[in-house]
Amino acid sequence: MISGVVVALAMNPFDVISTRLYNQDAKAPLYTGPFDALKKIFLKEGFSGFFKGLSAHYFRIGPHTVLTMLFWEQTKIFTAKYIYREEQ
């Protein structure tokens, strides 16, 4: 779960910028690109503006990270027990 926190903290600013770019009005865009969005978000909302929705991001990525590691470990055990032993 700690790695989920690290991933959420690292990826959330990019997620905020891309979400705002995707959701802006096409006829009257607020941002001209990702660097413009970065600048405007920082000037208007400060550093904390990049971490809006962090808890939602964590609740999505935290369990995903745990389940990925769990399934990876179980797959390694299964392949070591059944697949690689048959080839020898």
pLDDT in tens, 52-74: 999 999 999 989 988 998 999 99
pLDDT of residue 29: 93
pTM of the entire predicted model: 0.73
Residue 83: the pLDDT is 77
User: Does 39 fall in a domain?
Assistant: yes
Residue 25 domain flag: yes
Q: Which pLDDT score, from 0 to 100, does residue 85 have?
A: 64
| pLDDT on residue 45 | 96
In a domain, 86, yes or no: no
Query: What's the confidence (pLDDT) of residue 57?
Result: 93
Answer whether residue 47 is part of any domain: yes
Domain that holds residue 34: 2-62
pLDDT under 50: residue ranges of the chain: none
Q: Does the residue 26 lie in any domain?
A: yes
Q: Which residue type sits at 32?
A: T
Please give the tally of structural domains in the chain: 1
Sequence-distant (6+) residues with CB within 8 A of 34 are: 17, 18, 21
